[in-house]
Amino acid sequence: MAEKIPPDIKADLEQAALLHQRASSDYEKCVEFNKLMSDLLGRLEDAGCHKTAGKVMSILVDCNPKQGSQCDKATRIGEKMKKF
């Protein structure tokens, strides 16, 4: 059975996907994306959406913002974001 993701979380996941498209070469956007995904992880766990929370956690494992350098895992994270 598919998880029922609350509409507000679903909207924020969509916002995160759009934000990630701009984040790979912009450190501040990358940090904003990381914080949003961290917040979403907690909200998904609280909502009982453990499968989706696991996907967000796998993205956060790869997401490590570094000032002054381009994200070397942007493509991998982008592919994971498309799956939402």
User: Is there a contact between 65 and 34 (Cβ–Cβ < 8 Å)?
Assistant: yes
pTM of the shown model: 0.83
d(C-alpha 34, C-alpha 74), whole Å? 12
Please report, in tens digits, the pLDDT of each residue of the chain (84 residues total). 678 999 999 999 999 988 888 776 788 888 899 999 999 999 999 999 999 999 999 999 988 877 766 677 778 887 888 776
- The residue with tokens 């994971």 is 80
What are the residue boundaries of the structural domains of the chain, listed by start?
Answer: 7-82
